[in-house]
Amino acid sequence: DNNSEEENDPIEIKQSTNSETNCITPDNTFVTECNQNEFDTTYYNEVSDAESNSSNSFIEEEVLNINVVIAEWALRHKITHTALSDLLKCLRVYPAMTDLPKDARTLLKTPTSTEVKNIKGGIYHHFGIENEVKTLIETEPNLPSELLLVAGIDGLPLTDNPSSQLWPILGFFSNLNKSRPLVFLIGAFLGKTKPLDSNEFLFDFVKELKLFYLNGIVYKEKHITIVLHALICDTPAKSFVLNSKGHTGFNSCTRCITNGIWCN
């Protein structure tokens, strides 16, 4: 029986000589004639690299956010540099915090140099009022639209040999609901003696104050104006700032025009 013999012939199964076959990727994409081994290795390597890069990027972003959070916390609560540096040293012990800076100055990005201008008698740097007002806008929800500035000017000796003096301009806002005034530095002069020209010494302060009185400061949708409420000085500093006679001179009173009588 030829038919019977044909039916009983063994079926020859040919083994494929290559590993190319149809396959489905892990994301359910159908691929024709791909090398399964090469595909698996390439695909998962790419996925692994992408996940690694994403993880590294997330860690860097997280560390950056931690830097900002710690810096803002330190400024908000007026943490000293010594205490902040000690905190950073303690946090760096943990593996996730090793990228934090070691020093408070690095975290706060403290400038290493300060721009000063030469005026008669020494050098002067103007810190300004604007930054203090912006800080108050960010931290004080019920900030009044008009701030009353109290400025204080006085000099103090720093060294005797060689002689040097520091003349700061300090200020605080008197209409804030605070138990203690928040004093901030507006400007500072350094020289061998006091400033030789009060107009030059006060130029930046008066210019900024006039601008904020007329136009105000607009920051984060808030408009704040500043008014000079009082000027606090001792008698010698008062005569220097007002460019008037000293308290030991003739007709030196700034409140009247009555001439006194000299008595021996």
Distances (CA, A) of 37 to 22, 29, 51, 196, 253: 12, 16, 21, 85, 99
Given 75, 108, 141, the domain boundary residue is: 108
Domain count, the chain: 2
Does some domain include residue 78? yes
What is the b/e burial string over 104-133, where b = at least 16 CB atoms within 10 angstroms of the residue's CB?
Answer: beebbeeeeeeeeeebebbebebbbbeebb
Given 50, 85, 108, the domain boundary residue is: 108
Cα dihedral sign, 205-209-215-216 = positive
Does some domain include residue 6? no
Q: Please compute Rg for the chain using Cα positions.
A: 37
Could you count the other beta carbons within 10 Å of the beta carbon of residue 155?
18
Looking at the fold, whether 141 and 230 belong to one and the same domain comes out as yes
- The beta strands (E) that lie in 40-136 are given as 117-119, 122-126
Task: Read off φ and ψ for residue 163, nearest 5 degrees.
Answer: -75, 140
- 59 backbone φψ class: left, alpha, beta (φ>0; ψ -120 to 50): alpha
State the alpha helices, DSSP H only, in 109-255.
Answer: 130-139, 198-201, 203-214, 235-242
Looking at the fold, whether 217 and 186 belong to one and the same domain comes out as yes
Looking at the fold, whether 184 and 128 belong to one and the same domain comes out as yes
Q: Is the pLDDT of residue 58 over 50?
A: no
Does some domain include residue 24? no
What is the rounded CA–CA span in Å between residue 207 and residue 169?
14
Looking at the fold, whether 103 and 185 belong to one and the same domain comes out as no
Token readout for 228 is 């000079």
Looking at the fold, whether 123 and 236 belong to one and the same domain comes out as yes
What is the rounded CA–CA span in Å between residue 57 and residue 63?
10
> Which of the four pLDDT bands, split at 50, 70 and 90, describes residue 21?
very low
Given 76, 108, 140, the domain boundary residue is: 108
How high is the pLDDT of residue 260? 72
Does some domain include residue 180? yes
Stretch 66-76: mean pLDDT, rounded? 88
Q: Is the pLDDT of residue 48 over 70?
A: no
Task: Please write the tens of the pLDDT for every residue from 213-239.
Answer: 999 999 988 999 999 999 999 988 999
What is the rounded CA–CA span in Å between residue 236 and residue 249?
11
Looking at the fold, whether 139 and 234 belong to one and the same domain comes out as yes
Query: What average pLDDT does the chain have?
Result: 80
Distances (CA, A) of 97 to 64, 65, 88, 91: 11, 12, 9, 6
Stretch 73-78: mean pLDDT, rounded? 88
- Tell me which residue range forms the domain holding 222: 117-242
Task: Please write the tens of the pLDDT for every residue from 164-199.
Answer: 999 999 999 999 988 888 899 999 999 999 999 999
Does some domain include residue 84? yes
> What residues form DSSP beta bridges with 20?
35
Looking at the fold, whether 93 and 200 belong to one and the same domain comes out as no
Roughly how many angstroms between the first and final C-alpha of the chain, as a whole number? 161
Looking at the fold, whether 154 and 86 belong to one and the same domain comes out as no
Looking at the fold, whether 122 and 99 belong to one and the same domain comes out as no
Looking at the fold, whether 235 and 125 belong to one and the same domain comes out as yes
Does some domain include residue 186? yes
Does some domain include residue 253? no
Q: What is the dihedral of CA 37, 40, 43, 44, to 10 degrees?
A: -130
Looking at the fold, whether 127 and 234 belong to one and the same domain comes out as yes
Looking at the fold, whether 145 and 83 belong to one and the same domain comes out as no
Does some domain include residue 103? yes
